[in-house]
Amino acid sequence: MARPAESGQGGDRARVHRRQPHAPRHAFSRHDRGRAPGERAGGAGGSGVLAPRRRRGLRPHPLRPASGEAHLRRPQRPRFRSARRPRGGQSGAAPRFGQGGGGAVRRRLAAATTALALALGALACSRPESVPTYVVERRTFRHQVTAEGILKAANVTPLTVPPEVEGMVRLAWLAPDGSRVEAGDVVARFDPAPMRDRLVEGQQELATVSFQEQRTEVESRGKVAELETKLAVADLELGMAERFKKVDAAAFSRHEIIESGIDQKLASERKNHAVEAERRQYSLSRTELELLAIRQRQARLKIEQAKRGLEALEVRAPHSGLLSLRRDWRGEILQVGSEMWQGQQLAEIPDLRELEAEVFVLEADAGGLAVGKKATVVVEARPDVVYAATIKRVDTVAKPRQRGSPVQYFGVTLAFDQPLSGTEIKPGHRVRATLILEHRDEALVVPRQAVVEEQGGYRVYLRDGDRFVPREVSIGATSAGLVEVTAGLAEGDEVALKPPASRAPDGGRRRGDGLPSLVAGG
């Protein structure tokens, strides 16, 4: 009887918590082990549990009913993962793949595969065949930039608002832009209303000043006459006082003598005062008349300027040519109704015998711009003809072409080597120029990406068998895609178009990959 107890304590005690369809085979009697679970003896059917009368294979559960009916147990979740038995049929069966320890194995396989792929990729990238190269050769080197602009005349006659027109004036009529004009033709007229207002104001001021001058003269004469009368009375009184002065002490009392002397002195002071008052009045009247004369001259000058302004409201062409109207900062020409000021330019008449091109070069492309460099120009009116030109002038300061734009341009003036011909070519036409900044024949050139700047110098990586050796070089002119090499390379050398893998401090091996560096000696 010890044998069933050992069986129940050993392998069958944990099976109490297992669902019935998964009961192990050794839990049944020996003669039932070869049968299917649904064919076991004892009438258990497909319950998977032995009848109470056959207890050799499995100890009866204390809570199981005593009847022969199968008792369905509720499945219980194990408390710890380690206590969970494998789903195999035997007690010591190995776990299925993907369960338990299978996840760790799968992660290790994935990490190993990734490491292998990275190593193979690094090995493939480090091969010399994977580094693009370029064979150094001698060829023509040209550094050129393109620019756009317009045609303009080298010599122009500006037409401005006449200096006789003062203040602000408004355009009343304007000849069409690009029209042919002859000497003496009217090209612009201004609104005469402001000039007429100034003329009327001048005439009114002149009339007012003239009236004030006449009134001042009359008042001055009346005041002077009054002062002259006072002076005459004072002179008469002084004469009477001197003539009838009481000086005889025997005939007059001392009081009368003193009173007579005082009267004489008072008459003398009155005369002097009258004389001084007349002099001051005369000076004052003369000053007032002079001021009025100045105001009168100002009024007359204003009238004359207004008359000249009325006559100058018509701007005439000084010589024959094509009329080119001025454009504002937006590129728009003047329109009727535009307000202008004295001396402001409104148009110009160019000399068509000599034209030049004004183009604008980006500040970033302006390196190498200098007077005397060659260029080619294509005029919009004749796109099939290429004109040779020379840089005549370069602006010293870059400026934006549009207000508020951060893009800076250098203005460049191009002089044509031969005069332009053709009646369809006129100032203002658009042009496209190619400026040749550098030109070298039989120059050693390499692509720009092959040159590396390191520690203030330049180097390339030269192929030496299966390795690339750094080589110090000296460069000359550069363009957007090519660099001229003046020293350090020879024709036929093969250089890398990108720097190979840098050499690590541990003897030319990159840490972690175990692959040798392709760079020798650097």
What is the reported pLDDT for 48?
A: 46
Range with the largest mean pLDDT of 165-174, 253-262, 391-400: 391-400
Place of tokens 């019935």: 20
Between 309 and 8, where is the model more confident?
309
pLDDT digits (tens, 9 = 90+) for 5-61: 444 444 444 444 444 444 444 444 444 444 544 444 444 444 444 444 544 545 555
CA distance 290 to 293: 5
Rounded to 5 degrees, what angle do the CA atoms 390, 147, 397 make? 80
Amino acid 360: pLDDT: 94
pLDDT digits (tens, 9 = 90+) for 468-490: 888 888 887 777 778 888 888 88
Considering the chain, what is the average pLDDT of its residues? 73
Q: What is the pLDDT of residue 432?
A: 94
The DSSP secondary structure of 351-373, one letter per residue, reads -TTSEEEEEEEEGGG-TT--TT-
Which of 441, 439, 435, 440 lies closest to 371 in space, CA to CA? Answer: 435
CA distances from 193 to 200, 344, 426 (A): 11, 19, 36
Buried b vs exposed e over 267-302: b needs ≥16 C-beta within 10 Å? bbebbeebbebbeebeeebeebeeebeebbeebeeb
Check pLDDT > 70 for residue 196.
yes
End-to-end CA distance of the chain: 86
Helix (H) or strand (E) holding 173: strand 168-174
Report the sign of the C-alpha dihedral through residues 436, 438, 439, 443, in that order.
negative
What pLDDT sits at residue 358? 93
Top pLDDT among 233 and 436 is at 436
- Per-residue model confidence (pLDDT) at position 68: 47
Q: Supply the pLDDT for residue 501.
A: 67
Return the SS3 of 402: coil
Query: Strand pairing partners for 452?
Result: 459
Out of 139-148, 216-225, 310-319, 387-396, give the one with best mean pLDDT: 387-396
Q: How far apart are CA 16 and CA 29, in angstroms?
A: 17
**Tens of pLDDT along 479-521?**
777 888 888 888 888 888 888 765 433 333 333 333 233 333 3
Which 3 state secondary structure label does DSSP give 326?
coil
Q: What is the tens place of the pLDDT at every residue in 173-184?
A: 999 988 889 988
Q: What is the pLDDT of residue 387?
A: 93
Instruction: At 522, list the tokens.
Output: 């650097």
**Predicted pLDDT of residue 423:** 64
Quote the tokens at residue 301.
């000058």
pLDDT for residue 144:
84
On the question of pLDDT at 436 being above 60, the answer is yes
Of 319-333, 400-414, 449-463, give the range with the top mean pLDDT: 400-414
Got the DSSP string for 236-286?
Answer: HHHHHHHHT----TTTS-HHHHHHHHHHHHHHHHHHHHHHHHHHHHHHHHH
Cα distances (Å, whole numbers) of residue 199 to 103, 302, 304, 305, 307: 106, 7, 8, 8, 7
Distance CA 226, CA 495 (A): 116
Model pTM?
0.44
Where is pLDDT greater, at 414 or 191? 414
User: What's residue 11's pLDDT?
Assistant: 43
What pLDDT shows up at residue 43?
44
Residue 7 DSSP class:
H
Provide the residue type at 486 as one letter. Answer: T
> Is 156 in a helix, a strand, or coil?
strand
